[in-house]
């Protein structure tokens, strides 16, 4: 009986990663799901009251903080979706106007290297009502402008969106530039000779050709929005009141402030479901693209 090391050695090498995946990810996910059915408070309590197994979820459904968090998630998703549009505009301009390409790329991308905590601190300072942007604008004559977004519940989300766009536009620009570079350069010459206007060229030809880049960006953005925590913490710490809570913030809050493990787990499971709802199209998209690449 011979042992084929070329078959066994790689499997041994994969064991640590496999263990991490099974324990830290898969196992932990099920652990959290289990906890969401319990009444665990500060410490885990593994008894499930089957007559009322969904009580944490029922509470969640009635929690005003949770519904705020969900609404804010949608607002943040749609609002920071502008970063994709902005990123595309920047990419298209940089791609056609080669002058200063590397300078502009460097400038537009640097926020990505900066921690979201730093980003939050910087923008909160700019939006400071007495010493920031608003004060300056008031002094030079714009008496009516109101940039005190962070202090008001109905505008605080916009401040977070603004900071997110500032931070992430460069990232989408980089993806879009990669997408634009993969388009055959002869299309531009052909369009110019046909006398097609630039607008029509972009809307009728370029954007449809880049639909997968857009879709990828949208999915990545959604997954990023679900994880959004640092920026909220640094900009508003959830406030004023609960007006800028998002699910990621809600879970941490339930865990560390409310010390309610079962409740936090139920909210985390909801986050997981939202993640999966976004993840599924990504899987389909990837499979589709692979098939298309294989067919070519």
**Residues within window 80-109 making contact with other proteins, judged by CB under 8 A:** 90, 93-94, 96-97, 99-100, 103-109
Q: How far is the CB of 244 from other proteins (least distance, A)?
A: 14
Regarding 132 and contact with other proteins (CB under 8 A), the answer is: yes
Q: Is 244 an interacting residue with respect to other proteins (CB under 8 A)?
A: no
Please report how close the Cβ of residue 108 comes to other proteins at its closest, in angstroms.
Answer: 6
Applying CB under 8 A, what is the total number of residues that bind other proteins? 105
Q: How many CA atoms lie within 13 A of 281 on its CB side?
A: 13
Cβ-contact 76, 157 below 8 angstroms: yes
- Kindly state the DSSP code that residue 127 receives in the 8-state scheme: T
Q: Is residue 134 within 8 Å of 220, Cβ to Cβ?
A: no
Residue 118 CB, nearest approach to other proteins (Å): 5
Out of 152, 182, 189, 257, the residue judged to bind other proteins by CB under 8 A: 189
Place of tokens 């290297």: 113
Query: How would DSSP label each residue in 177-202?
Result: HHHHHTS-THHHHHHHHHT--HHHII
User: Which one, 75 or 275, has the nearer CB to other proteins?
Assistant: 275
How many H helices and E strands in the chain? Answer: 16, 0
Query: Does residue 259 belong to the site contacting other proteins (CB under 8 A)?
Result: no
Residues 75, 230, 240, 243: which binds other proteins (CB under 8 A)?
230
Kindly write out the interface string for residues 24-63 of this chain, putting x where it contacts other proteins by CB under 8 A and - elsewhere. xxxxxx-xx--x--------x-------------------
Which of 14, 145 has the CB closer to other proteins? 14
Q: Is there a contact between 159 and 127 (Cβ–Cβ < 8 Å)?
A: yes
Least CB distance from residue 252 to other proteins, whole Å? 7
- Answer for which of 83, 84, 160, 269 binds other proteins (CB under 8 A) is 269
Please, what is the minimum distance in Å from the beta carbon of residue 77 to other proteins? Answer: 14
Distance (Å, whole) CA 241 – CA 236: 10
Q: How big is the chain, counted in residues?
A: 296
Give the CA distances from residue 260 to residues 38, 102, 266, in Å, rounded to whole numbers and listed in that order.
11, 50, 10
């Amino acid at each position: 009986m011979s042992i084929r090391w070329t078959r066994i050695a790689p499997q041994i090498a994969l064991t640590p990663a496999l263990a991490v995946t099974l324990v830290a990810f898969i196992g932990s996910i099920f652990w959290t799901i289990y906890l969401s059915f319990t009444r665990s408070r500060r410490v885990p309590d593994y008894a499930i009251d089957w007559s009322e197994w969904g009580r944490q979820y029922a509470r969640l459904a009635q929690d005003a903080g949770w519904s705020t968090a969900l609404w804010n998630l949608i607002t943040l998703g749609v609002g920071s979706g502008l970063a994709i549009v902005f990123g595309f505009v920047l990419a298209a301009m940089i791609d056609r106007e080669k002058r200063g390409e590397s300078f502009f790329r460097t400038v537009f991308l640097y926020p990505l290297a900066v921690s979201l905590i730093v980003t939050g601190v910087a923008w909160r300072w700019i939006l400071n009502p007495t010493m920031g942007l608003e004060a300056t604008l008031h002094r030079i004559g714009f008496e009516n402008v109101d940039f005190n977004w962070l202090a008001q519940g109905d505008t605080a989300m916009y401040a977070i969106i603004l900071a997110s766009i500032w931070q992430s536009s460069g990232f989408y620009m980089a993806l879009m530039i990669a997408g634009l570079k993969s388009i055959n350069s002869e299309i531009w010459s052909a369009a110019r000779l046909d006398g097609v206007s630039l607008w029509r060229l972009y809307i009728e030809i370029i954007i449809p050709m880049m639909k997968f880049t857009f879709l990828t960006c949208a999915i990545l953005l959604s997954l990023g929005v679900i994880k959004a925590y640092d920026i909220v913490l640094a900009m508003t710490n959830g406030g004023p009141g609960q007006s800028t809570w998002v699910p990621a913030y809600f879970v941490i809050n339930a865990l560390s402030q409310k010390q309610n493990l079962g409740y936090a787990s139920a909210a985390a499971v909801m986050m997981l479901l939202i993640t999966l709802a976004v993840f599924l199209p990504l899987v389909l998209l990837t499979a589709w693209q692979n098939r298309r690449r294989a067919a070519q």
